[in-house]
Amino acid sequence: MSLRLSRRHRYAIDSVLALLLLSGLAWLGLDRGDPLDDALGTWLRADTRVHAAAGVATVFLVGTLWLVHLRRSWRSQRNRLPGALALAGLALMAVSGYALGYLVDEAGHAWMGRLHWIAGVAGAVSYVWHRVQGPRTRPG
Ligand code: HEM
Ligand code: HEM
């Protein structure tokens, strides 16, 4: 049974994940730890908005994979490790992203932020591995 997704679905996932990663990395590049001057502060605020929107879209898109892609692929026993790592990374990003926005205080912010972006970068590496490895695991 083919586990391929429609081209539109695949593009939507790849593009939203790319935007998520780029906006997250841009945040790391823009942040100086101190109060920012006006121009940088404006960029950082815009970037945070894009990032949070990409985060919401990501959670939605992963939801669209749940019933079919995740279940059938898991049962097929193909591409499991990189898929599970990407999923675990995404779950950690979603939980720590929520915590950054709404739960932790100033003291918790630094380590939660670090946990969040490390999960982001590790999840991105796992996802690329997953995408490259996937077609190679097709039977026949
Ligand atoms: C336990 C979790 C997962 C398993 C076992 C799994 C399994 C697979 C397999 C077997 C393929 C290759 C299909 C083929 O080319 O014949 C694949 C492709 C793919 N997976 Fe996953 N996957 C998992 C999680 C995920 C997650 C979390 C995402 C997205 C965030 C994802 C996105 C994709 C995409 C976009 C493709 C390419 C599909 C295509 O070429 O049409 N997968 N996966
Ligand atoms: C499901 C995936 C993700 C979700 C839902 C998400 C969500 C969020 C949210 C809500 C915030 C807090 C924004 C605020 O301060 O109000 C945030 C901050 C941040 N995110 Fe993400 N994010 C995700 C993935 C990523 C990825 C892949 C990266 C890549 C590096 C990343 C890097 C960052 C950084 C650097 C911050 C700022 C951390 C800080 O305040 O110290 N995120 N994210």
Q: Which atom in ligand 2 lies closest to the alpha carbon of residue 100?
A: 12
- Looking at every residue in the chain, the average pLDDT score rounds to 95
The confidence score (pLDDT) of residue 38 equals 81
Q: Say yes or no: CB of residue 115 within 6 Å of ligand 2.
A: no
Q: Tokens 């994940």 identify what position?
A: 17
Give the closest residue to 54 by CA, choosing from 15, 88, 92.
15
pLDDT > 90? residue 13: yes
86 lines ligand 2 (CB under 6 A): no
Q: Where are the beta strands (DSSP E) in the chain?
A: none
Is the distance from the beta carbon of residue 128 to the nearest atom of ligand 2 less than 6 Å? Answer: no
Instruction: Give the predicted TM-score (pTM) of the model.
Output: 0.93
CA distance 136 to 129: 11
Which residue's alpha carbon is at the smallest distance from atom 24 of ligand 1?
Answer: 83
**Nearest 5°: CA angle at 20, between 83 and 112?**
85
Per-residue pLDDT tens digits for 44-67: 999 999 999 999 999 999 999 999
